[in-house]
Amino acid sequence: MQETTPQQWAIAIHGGAGAMTPETMDAAAVAVHEAGLSAALEAGEAVLRTGGSAVAAVAAAVAVLEDDPHFNAGRGAVFTYHGTNELDAAIMDGASRAAGAVSGLTRIRNPVQLARTVMEAGPHVFLSGAGAEEFAADHGIDPIDPAWFATPERLRQLEELKAQKSGWFDAGLKYGTVGAVARDQAGHVAAATSTGGLTGKRWGRIGDSPLIGAGTYADDRAAAVSCTGSGEQFIRAGVAHEICARIRLGGQGAQAATDAVLAEVGAMGGVGGIIVVTPAGETVFALTTPGMFRARSDSTGRREVAIFALD
Ligand code: ASP
């Protein structure tokens, strides 16, 4: 009989859902994205392996992806219609259901760090724009030159979008968002999500990523969830909270609940991907796009990095 190792910790991350396929991504791009995912997973694993909290693990993993210019969060974020980078992030602790969120940041290197500071040191849950950056300064987080976020490739993508004159923003969802969910050795779960939003966004548009209950949610009684995809539909479906509610009240398994809610998003015309971890350490991936940058590992030795839907 095969022996089973008790699950002590588990982590899953994503680097965004999108239109990537084996035909449209060359080997070098695959390698660079897989290396980035692996590095982020390692940062989260290092926290969990040494008994750190799920909150610290998701913050560490997301910060690595924010600093990696290949993912749409922090450095390498997509451009707004006006050629700026505006960053959103959220984090939630499933043990206490404490949460922190920030939006419209232009000068904070690691938005997830600021979201965590809002959660742990502030009286509020959600801060935006100049006020959020003032809160950062009050808490010792120094602003940086916005040029840090800008990459030539993202600028090219904005110019391409504008040349197409096809719509208000990039509804084609090519570039993703980043997120992490984790279960620590104490049995607590946490979730974090960080994004530059959608290429060409304007009018102060904010997606689902920093909205507690839409793109990010964690509850020790159910699961931790981080989403990527068509933010408008994810907001309307209240995706992350809805998945937790179905697990907690509806008795659905994590995979079934996630698939069902993503199908509801689909019925509204949205696509995307979701990562989930339960307090038992089960990790779940679901996606309705051709790809989602993703990875997961746990204390049993399981480790996976994947990009395309059929991997
Ligand atoms: N959900 C993000 C947003 O709407 C975008 C993405 O995940 O690609 O801001």
Nearest to residue 78, comparing CAs of 176, 182, 184? Answer: 176
Residues near 76 by Cβ (< 8 Å), separated by ≥ 6? 68, 69, 70, 149, 151, 153, 154, 196
Question: How far, in Å, is the centroid of ligand 1 from the Cα of 282?
Answer: 25
Alpha-carbon span 21 to 291, nearest angstrom: 6
As given in the structure block, the two tokens for residue 32 are 């660079």
Token pair, residue 72, equals 């749409």
- Find all residues with CB under 8 Å of 25, minimum gap 6, and list them: 33, 291, 307
Q: What DSSP state is assigned to residue 186?
A: T
Asked if residue 220 lies in contact with residue 208, where contact means CB atoms within 8 angstroms, the answer is no
Tell me the domains of the chain and their CATH numbers. Answer: 10-308 (3.60.20.30)
Question: 80, 117, 177, 288: which one is catalytic?
Answer: 177
What is the CA(16)–ligand 1 centre distance, in A? Answer: 8
What three-state secondary structure class fits 278?
A: coil
Q: CA–CA separation, 126 vs 118, rounded Å?
A: 8
Residue identified by tokens 């976020």 is: 149
Angle CA 153–159–165, to nearest 5: 140
pLDDT recorded at residue 34: 97
Q: What CA–CA distances, in Å, run from 219 to 76, 182, 198, 247, 279?
A: 31, 12, 28, 10, 9
Question: How does pLDDT run along the chain (311 residues), one tens digit per residue?
Answer: 344 455 799 999 999 999 889 998 999 999 999 999 999 999 999 999 999 999 999 999 999 999 999 999 999 899 999 999 999 999 999 999 999 999 999 999 999 999 999 999 989 999 999 999 999 999 999 999 999 988 888 888 888 888 876 555 555 555 679 999 999 999 999 999 999 998 889 999 999 999 999 999 999 999 999 999 999 999 999 999 999 999 999 999 999 999 999 999 999 999 999 999 999 999 999 999 999 999 999 999 999 999 999 76
Nearest to 260 by CA among 278, 269, 247: 247
C-beta 86 within 6 A of ligand 1: no
Cβ of 173 closer than 6 Å to ligand 1, yes or no, is: yes
Position in ligand 1 atom list of the atom nearest CA 229? 7
Is 177 marked active-site? yes
Helix (H, G, I), strand (E, B) or coil at 123: coil
Query: What are phi and psi for residue 4, nearest 5 degrees?
Result: -105, 140
- Indicate the pairing of strand 98-105 with strand 126-128: parallel
pLDDT at 165: 63
Q: What is the pLDDT of residue 4?
A: 45
* 106 three-class SS: coil
pTM assigned to the model: 0.95
Look-up of token digits 């051709």: 290
Please, what's the b/e burial string for 71-93 (b: 16 or more CB within 10 A of its CB; e: otherwise)?
bbbbbbbbbbbeeebbbbbbbbb
